[in-house]
Structure 1
Amino acid sequence: MSAIDSPAPAVVLAWDLPTRIAKWLLATLVGLAFASKYFGDVGLVWHQWNGLAILVVLVFRLLWGFVGGSTARFADFLRGPGAAVSYVTSLLRGRPQHFLGHSPLGGWATLALLALVGTQALTGLFASDDIIVYGPMTPVASDETIAAASAWHQRIYVYLLALLGLHVLVNFVYSLFGRDNLIRAMVSGRKRAGTYADPVPATPGSVAWALACLVVAIVVVFGGIALAGGDPFP
């Protein structure tokens, strides 16, 4: 059979492996951070380790957004207001545009979620209960900074739960009733072949770049805390 006669692939690459690992690892760490507040984590030691690990994953994802696979790059999925309006209009008309990576709304929702998780983790560095829990940066923070960070750490917790719940609900509903099973695609990395608004298939990122991003992320988080005078090891 010639190349011309070869059947089209049934599925195409949508998300590369580092992107998928970062997403599911971040989801797991956030869940463990919530759980550790209620299930026997005396002194919230594991809670703080979860927070540091979350920061490492977030820094990795930030770097990967510039050098990673095509659908992981911010330049690919952060589109202007016009694209978002066009996408919403297509939804309302019942003829939604289909994207291999994030849709215009999904891209900004992802950025908002990353920003909120990052803010929660950063405020945790300076948070304290004034009894047994002291964040890694409390040794060099003023009492006013610690009080403000502690208050915001508790406040953002509620917003983060709400946004996470909405994120899960939207993905679940779209996976059930939409053209693409987003949850399955983020596990397998592949979607059904078809017509998409962005280039198909996705271009995977380099394993070497992924490892480099991970090393830089670890150095930035732990080295940054140490250089600032904090204690990076709870």
Structure 2
Amino acid sequence: MKKIIRVWDLPIRLFHWLLVACIIGSLVSIHLFDSAVELHAYFGYCILTLLVFRVIWGFVGSRHARFASFVPNRQSILNYLQDKSPRFLGHNPIGALSVFALLFVLCVQVVTGLFVDDEIAFQGPLAKYVPSAVVSFLSEIHEGNQVIIYTLITIHIAAIWYYKKFKGENLIKPMITGDKEIDPSEEARYLPSDLGHSSKDGALQRGLALLLLSLIAVAVGYFITR
């Protein structure tokens, strides 16, 4: 019988899929509808809210949600690439690099978006506080950074396909159910400390996440409307 271990708590799973939905909505609204700049901005504000939540949850969340549990170093990356490291319940070193890279470029995107001013249909809430030269510079970064985002998302999707096709590891299912199923024959390939500790995902954990997200959403809403 396979061993079932809770890896991803509900807050992380909801963050992941809400972020996916908001990114898709943001891309569709800006590329398919010329008059949907304001809708694009609201998706951006939602992404900002989610990113702030993720950063905080990276310090107070469950075991595998915390940044400290998957910050890679040079040796761990080399060991993983050389197939000398154990299997990971959470993010492996390469996956961790992908996570940090995506979080960084998305933060760049939402922050620069706050300063965008197209002088026609939209002005970011911070654009009026800086010189026009700064607005122009940050607007260029906002536009150019899209290419990096597309690239990282493509790599992310390709990695999911690769792990499923060549390593027989389904990375999507645990992000839906929260659980990883470990075959008894493969238990030796994991760290005993990982197998012995499921991520906390109870009512208290979820309540804290809901409170935190609500406070962030209110703060962002106040910030963009004041």
Which residue of the other structure, out of 155, 163, 168, is the alignment partner of 1:166? 155
Q: CA deviation at 1:79?
A: 2.5
Contact map agreement 2:57 2:66 (CA 8 A) in 1? yes
Which residue of the other structure, out of 22, 26, 30, is the alignment partner of 1:33? 26
Q: Secondary structure at the match of 2:124?
A: coil
Cα shift readout 1:45-102 (whole Å, capped 9, x = no counterpart): 1100000000000000111111111110001011321111111111xxxx66311000
Q: CA deviation at 1:130?
A: 2.0
Q: CA deviation at 1:220?
A: 4.3
Amino acid at match of 1:218: A
Amino acid at match of 1:27: V
Amino acid at match of 1:127: V
Cα shift readout 1:147-203 (whole Å, capped 9, x = no counterpart): 011100110011111111111111122123224200111111111125323612432
Give the alignment's Cα RMSD to 1 decimal.
Answer: 2.0
Amino acid at match of 1:46: L
- Provide the residue aligned with 1:23 in structure 2: 16
Q: What is the TM-score of this pair, normalised by structure 2?
A: 0.88
Structure 2: where are the runs of 5+ without partners?
Answer: none
- Provide the residue aligned with 2:88 in structure 1: 99
- Provide the residue aligned with 1:67 in structure 2: 60
Contact map agreement 1:180 1:191 (CA 8 A) in 2? no
1:180 corresponds to 2:169: yes
| Matches of 1:55 and 1:41, distance apart in 2 | 23
**Paired positions, count:** 216
Cα shift readout 1:111-160 (whole Å, capped 9, x = no counterpart): 11011011111111101222222112112222011101110011001111
1:140 corresponds to 2:100: no
Q: CA deviation at 1:208?
A: 2.5
- Provide the residue aligned with 1:131 in structure 2: 120
- Provide the residue aligned with 1:58 in structure 2: 51
Q: Secondary structure at the match of 2:5?
A: strand
Q: What is the TM-score of this pair, normalised by structure 1?
A: 0.85
Q: Structure 1 residues 104, 221: closer, same or farther in 2, change over 3 A?
A: same
Identity of aligned residues (%): 31
Q: CA deviation at 1:41?
A: 5.3
- Provide the residue aligned with 1:87 in structure 2: 80
Contact map agreement 1:172 1:183 (CA 8 A) in 2? no
